[in-house]
Amino acid sequence: MEKRAIIAIILTFLVIMLWGTIQSKFFPSEPGKETKKEEVAPLEKGTEKKIDIVEEYLRKEERPKKEERPPFKPKAVVKKEVSVETQNYWAVFTSEDARLKHFKLKNYEDRVEESALTVTLVQFFQELFSKKEEPKKPLPLDLVNTSEKEGLPLGISFITPLPSRNRVVLTSSDGNWEVEKEQLRLVNTGEKGEIIFVKTLENGLQVSKRYRFTSENNAIDLEVEVQNNSSQEIPIQLGLEWIGKVELVKLADEGNKDYGLKYAFFKNQKVEKKDLGGTGSSGCTPGCSAPKKNIEPFEFSDKGEIGWYAFEGEYFAALLIPPPSEKNLTLSVKGNEKNILQANVISSSIAIPPQQAVKIPYRIYIGPKEEGQLKELGVSAEKLVDFGWFTVVAKPLLWVLRLTNNVTKNFGIDIIILSILIKIIFLPLTQISFKSMKEMQKVQPEMARLKETYKNDKARLQQEIMLLYKRRKINPMSGCLPMLIQIPVFIALYNALQFTIEMRHAPFFFWIKDLAAKDPIYITPLIMGATMVIQQKMTPTAADPAQAKLFMLMPIMFTFLFLSFPSGLVIYWLINNVLSITHQYYLNKRV
């Protein structure tokens, strides 16, 4: 094998290993550019910082005069839970602050059920180290991943003046809300329904949260109605919360990247993303470093025309979509050392006249990052599905996989078909490469003579070698073309497997139950490494023994790298190697 070919292969390996690092170091995402455009405190009850924000806002407004009122006695309300079932999910709302307690997807589970072979082998090795564990059973995936103690999503908060005092405080909606229904079932196509929570606040405001559902849709419409029952105009700012747990522990222990690893928001027709500790933030390929289990506490805020906020992972997201008429929103995001992320989408100020009401419509989407469903929201939410620099390659690959899947119903077979098609497309380049390598092998004796003749004159040696190439009509780089052109395809397919919901938990055969996850017993990477050895034995190589030994290290390097890659990607490379071996055998026989 000529030196340039070895260099090209080593460079290919380095690009695959270090691509994430290069992208994160030199082209990082800029969520708000890490600069706090405006300090906005999270809307929680009872901190002086929040009072300062309210006072600053009210300096621009005329304060209500002192008014003597009898002490407010909140109505005692029994805590209730309301269950909602549709075609796609089971949800549970609690009357405590009218928040969402569970949102379990019917069509997606939190893990795959491992094959009997995988369970047997894993338990065998666990017994050797005296720590046998029973495999966990799959359960419906719950996209509310916090407890009531940690805080539940879809709470609302108000910034209002209290007429009974000569100052302003945060008026919270905490406590039990009145609700009539305890169950809502919408399992037939076209069915619609709603649940209404109502609460009266101390300052004379009556608040209603009206959740509207449709049977076949993951989107929920939330209408917040605020009725001013007092005798004075009351200005308010309304905040809608999403509280979620950053799933770094699950990522570290199980390699699970489904949900809860980053947040994003849409501003000025651009998606701003912040990775909270998954592989994207470290710029690391799978298995290259120990993942962290805790986030660094932080606060972030931004202000302007914010189209939506999303708490997401690789395959699922929860989106808060504010009213489309709102042009001056504030987004406040806070993460703490317990891996709890609290986001608040805060509206601009609204003055409610006495005995009148305002209605603020929100839209909430909780479910898979499926481009069709996200596009239906009409707020460019489909941009959450991002294949990076190689989108132009990844989308055609996905189109082919989806097309063939209509027939095969197995994405593993579709990847094999894709490998064959790509091999056919690159066949002319492979032919040129083989011809070039054969010619290079023929001139090895003459190159050895030149190296001996000009061993003390490197410049003259290079000049003579180039003249030899020109005389024999050899392009030394042509042998590297097939390998170099495969890099964009390889990275694009990797991204397609990582970010396309159809690939999640897509089974192949036997022990491979998830093409988007690594091979649980590492059989396919080992077979792939063996095919690389066979391929090298059949390929024309250089006469230099040192180069040949270096070249033989490549299967070991690639096998180690592929141990943590998605099994679908390993199958693609394995099939590509098998086809190359077959083609090489045919060409060798013909020659």
> Is the confidence at residue 47, as pLDDT, over 80?
no
Q: State the average pLDDT over residues 74-80.
A: 74
Q: In this structure, are residues 105 and 70 in contact, taking their beta carbons and an 8 Å threshold?
A: no
Q: Which residues of 512-547 are buried (b: 16+ CB within 10 A; e: fewer)?
A: bbbbbbbbbbbbbbebbbebbebbeeebbbbebeeb
* Domain contains 69: no
More confident call, 24 vs 374: 374
Does 479 lie in the same domain as 343? no
Q: How many helices (H) and strands (E) does the chain have?
A: 16, 21
* Domain contains 216: yes
> Is the confidence at residue 104, as pLDDT, over 90?
yes
Pairing between strand 178-179 and 192-200?
Answer: antiparallel
What local confidence, expressed as pLDDT, does residue 71 receive? 52
* Domain contains 129: yes
Mean residue pLDDT of the chain comes to 82
Q: In this structure, are residues 87 and 104 in contact, taking their beta carbons and an 8 Å threshold?
A: no
* Range of weakest confidence among 87-96, 104-113, 283-292, 542-551: 283-292
Pairing between strand 234-245 and 340-346?
Answer: antiparallel
Which pair of tokens denotes residue 37? 């455009």
Does 176 lie in the same domain as 129? yes
More confident call, 98 vs 289: 98
Number of residues that make up the chain: 591
What local confidence, expressed as pLDDT, does residue 188 receive? 94
494: containing domain? 3-21+391-590
The answer to whether the pTM exceeds 0.75 is yes
Nearest to 157 by CA among 69, 46, 241: 241
Query: Residue 588: enclosing H or E segment and its boundaries?
Result: helix 567-590
Q: Report the percentage of the chain scoring pLDDT > 90.
A: 47
Confidence band, pLDDT 50/70/90 cuts, at residue 478: low
> Is the confidence at residue 311, as pLDDT, over 90?
yes
Please name the residues in contact with 489: beta carbons below 8 A apart, sequence gap of 6 or more: 393, 397, 422
> Is the confidence at residue 58, as pLDDT, over 60?
no
Q: State the average pLDDT over residues 418-437.
A: 83
Does 396 lie in the same domain as 338? no
More confident call, 185 vs 458: 185
Q: State the average pLDDT over residues 441-455.
A: 81
Confidence band, pLDDT 50/70/90 cuts, at residue 173: low
Pairing between strand 183-185 and 81-85?
Answer: parallel
Which pair of tokens denotes residue 231? 């005798």
> Is the confidence at residue 590, as pLDDT, over 70?
yes
Distance CA 472, CA 453 (A): 20
* Domain contains 70: no
What local confidence, expressed as pLDDT, does residue 167 receive? 36
Distance CA 426, CA 418 (A): 12
More confident call, 45 vs 139: 139
User: CATH number of the domain that 284 lies in?
Assistant: 2.70.98.90
Query: Of 371, 386, 401, which closes a domain?
Result: 386
> Is the confidence at residue 153, as pLDDT, over 70?
yes
Q: In this structure, are residues 346 and 329 in contact, taking their beta carbons and an 8 Å threshold?
A: yes
The SS3 assignment for 475 reads: coil
Which pair of tokens denotes residue 356? 């009148």
Does 472 lie in the same domain as 371? no
Q: Which residues of 81-114 are buried (b: 16+ CB within 10 A; e: fewer)?
A: ebbbbbbbbbbebbbbbbbbbbbbbeebebbbeb
Number of domains in the chain: 2
- Beta strands, E only, 97-251: 99-109, 140-142, 156-161, 168-172, 178-179, 183-185, 192-200, 205-214, 219-228, 234-245
- pLDDT tens digit string along 347-385? 988 889 999 999 999 999 999 999 999 999 999 999 999
What local confidence, expressed as pLDDT, does residue 548 receive? 64
Q: State the average pLDDT over residues 195-202.
A: 90
Query: Of 386, 407, 424, which closes a domain?
Result: 386
> Is the confidence at residue 310, as pLDDT, over 70?
yes
Confidence band, pLDDT 50/70/90 cuts, at residue 99: very high
Query: Of 361, 386, 411, which closes a domain?
Result: 386
* Domain contains 26: no
Nearest to 33 by CA among 193, 382, 195, 268: 268
Q: State the average pLDDT over residues 161-178.
A: 54
- pLDDT tens digit string along 247-278? 999 998 888 899 999 999 999 889 999 998 76
